[in-house]
Amino acid sequence: MVGYVASNMNLDSHNIQNVSTSIQSTVASKKFDHFKGLTMVFLGAVLWGVSGTAAQVLFQRDGFDPGWLVTVRMSAAGLLLLTAIAMKTGLAQTLAVWRKKRDALKLVLFGIIGLLGVQYSYFATIRYGNAATGTMLQYMGPIFITAYIALRQRRLPSASQLAAVFLALAGAFLLVTDGNLHSFSVSPLAVFWGLISALTVAFYSLYPQSLLQKYGSANIVGWAMLIGGIVMSFITPPWDFRGHGSFGAWWLVAFVVLFGTLIAFYVYIASLKYISPSEASLLSCGEPLSASFLAVACLHVQMGLPAMLGGLCVLVTVTLLARRGPAAQ
């Protein structure tokens, strides 16, 4: 009897140890997924920032049209991504999203309002301003995301979220005014398109999550890219090229298509499986940093101390969010 009891006690102890090990493994796995999501966001953001600077060169030095570049980058990136997916998973799985009308409609809206909206508005901001301004103004996006989530969950934002909103507003104010209350330091058109860009960032961060879970990030991003490119081609056809083409210019176009579009958007969207939309938007700090650094160092864009303080507000915003840890999906 004593041996039976001891045997059961050993068995219970063994089970408890297994459960404890399993819990620790799950926690470690969640932490790794969270870290992976943050890394993916940062990589995509840096590529966005660099491609923004490349686009500024194409617009201001070579006379390229933003609409034409959007058409080419979205169409080419979408076709490349969908071809790769079809070769890997088969044509039937690649076309699966079109079998349900509701999902197909959501995909079309995501492609037009989300990806096309953010791409065109971002490039328009660069055309009327510069890459640093365009990327900084996109960081108004977390304000709209935070407000939407708070309204949907019927609760007030946390103290850290409110602080992040305040800092994002302060940073945007300093950026567009450079501390001068009586005038803009950038074109009002750049500010307008920058705010549109922020709204579309919020939309494509929040809207496609159900599609991503059903059909995968690469599939949804590929189709959305192609849809946006097709719609934009009715406005600015790819054969209607205007600008001064050169070997260097075409290399910049290739970089914008492959790294600044295909890879950057995919890793950002894929990161939403591991982190929340608000984290993804706020933690993509590499974009304004890389764009601002390249704009000042390579393109000689002038940024005063107030504008630099606006950039510092973005970094503090990132720090506040990072301290919260993994957020509920």
The CA distance from 252 to 51, in Å, is 8
Number of domains in the chain: 1
User: Could you tell me the pTM of the whole model?
Assistant: 0.72
Q: Is the pLDDT of residue 318 over 60?
A: no
In a domain, 18, yes or no: no
Region 82-92: what's the mean pLDDT? 89
In a domain, 208, yes or no: yes
pLDDT of residue 326: 40
In a domain, 29, yes or no: no
Model confidence pLDDT, tens digit, residues 110-125: 999 988 998 899 888 8
pLDDT of residue 234: 93
Q: Is the pLDDT of residue 4 over 50?
A: no
Max alpha carbon distance in the chain (Å)?
92
In a domain, 87, yes or no: yes
In a domain, 201, yes or no: yes
146 neighbors 165 (Cβ within 8 angstroms): yes
Kindly tell me the burial class for residue 148, based on how many C-beta atoms sit within 10 Å of its own C-beta (0-12, 13-18, 19 or more). middle
Model confidence pLDDT, tens digit, residues 49-80: 788 888 888 888 888 998 999 999 899 989 98
Backbone angles phi, psi at 155, to 5 degrees: -145, 155
Distance set, CA 133 to CA 104, 191, 235 (Å): 35, 8, 26
pLDDT of residue 68: 93
Task: Supply the range of the domain harboring residue 165.
Answer: 37-322
Q: How many helices (H) and strands (E) does the chain have?
A: 16, 0
In a domain, 6, yes or no: no
Distance set, CA 209 to CA 222, 261, 269 (Å): 15, 19, 9
pLDDT of residue 98: 95
- Lowest mean pLDDT: which of 232-236, 242-246, 250-254? 242-246
